């Protein structure tokens, strides 16, 4: 690693054409704190020290965010985001998703013993809840 390597991720971006459905999932079901919404362009959430940005790809493909020189961007297809969760929290999320009729894509333990639970958001993005030890690296 170089001395100028990034220290942490600041934001994660996902793409969803239906921001109302995304808002119901991330703000309603998951309970993330909404920071802002700009019409049909984006909705932003705080998650701990980071941010989850949900963009409408049709709106960000060709337009900037207004007066700021943010380049056009978008992605097509399904993305992925992973939320850190304890074993008890993962069990709780499983119950929440089942109670809301949300299919569980996978629920398993990795070779290092960490548990991951996967669901899909309304746009089809793969959303994971995993024990942080998933990324503990052996010496």
Local confidence band at 3 (pLDDT 50, 70, 90 cut-offs): low
pTM of the full predicted structure? 0.88
At 129, list the tokens. Answer: 């809840």
Q: Give the model's pLDDT for residue 26.
A: 98
Q: Give the residue with greater pLDDT, 62 vs 86.
A: 86
Of 115, 130, 31, residue with least CA distance to 80: 130
Q: How many CA atoms lie within 13 A of 19 on its CB side?
A: 19
Could you report the per-residue pLDDT of 22-70, keeping only the tens digit for each? Answer: 999 999 999 999 999 999 999 999 999 999 999 999 888 876 656 777 7
Kindly state the average pLDDT of the residues 81-85.
Answer: 95
In contact, 82 and 128? CB cutoff 8 Å: yes
In contact, 17 and 59? CB cutoff 8 Å: no
Q: Give the model's pLDDT for residue 63.
A: 60
Alpha carbon of 131 to those of 5, 23, 98, 139: distances in Å? 25, 25, 20, 19
Kindly state the average pLDDT of the residues 128-132.
Answer: 95
In contact, 107 and 97? CB cutoff 8 Å: no
Of 120, 107, 114, 49, residue with least CA distance to 79: 120
Q: Which domains does the chain have, with CATH numbers?
A: 8-64 (3.10.180.10), 77-139 (3.10.180.10)
Q: How far apart are CA 33 and CA 36, in angstroms?
A: 9
Of the chain, the percentage scoring pLDDT greater than 90 comes to 74
> Which residues lie across from 34 on neighbouring strands?
45
Local confidence band at 2 (pLDDT 50, 70, 90 cut-offs): low
Q: Give the model's pLDDT for residue 124.
A: 96
Q: Give the model's pLDDT for residue 139.
A: 46
User: Which of 64-68, 70-74, 91-95, 96-100 is predicted with the least confidence, judged by mean pLDDT?
Assistant: 64-68
At 53, list the tokens. Answer: 């940005």
């Amino acid at each position: 690693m170089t001395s100028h390597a990034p220290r942490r991720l600041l934001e994660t971006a996902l793409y969803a054409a239906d921001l109302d459905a995304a808002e119901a999932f991330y703000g309603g079901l998951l309970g993330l704190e909404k920071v802002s919404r700009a019409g049909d362009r984006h909705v932003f959430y705080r998650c701990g020290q980071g941010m989850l940005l949900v963009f409408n790809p049709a709106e960000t493909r060709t337009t900037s965010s207004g007066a700021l020189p943010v380049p056009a961007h978008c992605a097509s297809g399904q993305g992925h985001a992973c939320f850190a969760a304890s074993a008890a929290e993962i069990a709780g999320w499983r119950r929440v998703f089942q109670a809301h009729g949300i299919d569980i894509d996978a629920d398993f333990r990795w070779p290092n013993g960490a548990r991951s639970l996967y669901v899909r958001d309304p746009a089809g993005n793969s959303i994971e809840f995993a024990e942080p030890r998933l990324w503990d690296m052996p010496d």
